[in-house]
Amino acid sequence: MNTITLLQPDDWHAHLRDGLALKRTVPDLAQQFSRAICMPNLVPPVKTVDEANAYRERIMAHVPEGVDFDPRMVIYFTDNTAPDEVRKIADSEYVNAIKLYPAGATTNSDSGVSDIRKVYAVIEQMEKHQVPLLLHGEVTHNHIDIFDREKRFVDDILSPLLQQFPELKVVLEHITTSDAAHFVLEQDRNVAATITPQHLLFNRNDLLVGGVKPHFYCLPILKRQTHQQTLLEVATSGNPKFFLGTDSAPHSKNAKENACGCAGCYSAPTAIELYAQAFDQVSRIERLEGFASHFGADFYGLPRNTKTITLVKEDQVIPESLDYLDGEKIIPLYAGNTIQWRKM
């Protein structure tokens, strides 16, 4: 298959940042996706519906003329989130979910939830109103190996949570392990997962062999090839519990390439082509539309898009770098390498 036409895809997990960063990130994402769940881990975080709507206005100011783009907003779960905020989300036009970061799990997560039991009153309201809970699924205890943190979250946090709230709508974000994939498969339809392009295309060898490659460093970290293979199997299976979420996150080259480089991969400019590469590598390109364009919208109760895009099997070289902020650069995911698909 040398061309494929699909409904315009959505990105159900993306980081745009704020301020000057939006000049780079919003056009990149809007040229690829019709909608995007916009992560709330700003500084300070987006903690209320009013703050989320204000953030959406700042995003909309950078959407290119003639491009239809609908940012879907999320508020940041803290130990002090009010249960009343859940009804506001349920009644909101643009705010769709609450995002839970375990405190210290990733970039700008220091305000996250310190103990999930502290916010059970809010989660009870989320289950009642069917407001999705989006989870960064890692524990953060220093003594737990970084490669085991997702599995421990599933076992120690998520499993008991769903026993307590069996009807809660949950998206386990950017899953990276066979353990997480199999857990999602075993749950009812109220539990789903997003998968990133980097976790489909790469594994920890790409990060570590021959020296540390900082632009492959993300959280949750890349895992073994066996986990990568499981993610490819579930993403390309046609199972509606798995859908597209890039976790695209902009960091300047200087912030990534230093003694304490930050976590995140920037995939927004060529995201759908990267997913097409992954699906094509396992001869399942015909299943890309469900993963990219159907299943996420269905889970969130939003209408599927009606416009289409076409991908053609044609080599393109991902740029070595992109302009960012004032004279800084971003190194995009797989920079300088050739992929076999291009968006027309």
List, in order of start, the domains of the chain with CATH numbers. Answer: 3-343 (3.20.20.140)
The catalytically annotated residue of 156, 247, 315, 323 is 247
Please check if 219 is assigned to a binding site: yes
Residue 233 has a pLDDT of: 98
Residue 106 has a pLDDT of: 60
Residue 326 has a pLDDT of: 86
Please check if 17 is assigned to a binding site: yes
Residue 111 has a pLDDT of: 72
If we measure between CA atoms, which residue out of 119, 127, 82, 84 comes closest to residue 102? 119
Please check if 201 is assigned to a binding site: no
Please check if 117 is assigned to a binding site: no
E-state strands within the chain: 3-7, 11-14, 35-38, 70-76, 95-100, 133-135, 170-172, 191-195, 242-244, 308-317, 322-324, 328-330, 338-343
Give 10-residue mean pLDDT values along the chain (344 residues). Answer: 95 98 98 98 96 98 97 96 97 97 66 87 98 95 94 96 98 98 98 98 97 95 98 98 98 93 96 98 98 98 98 98 94 98 96
247 is catalytic: yes
Q: What is the pTM of this model?
A: 0.96
**What is the pairing mode between strands 308-317 and 322-324?**
unpaired
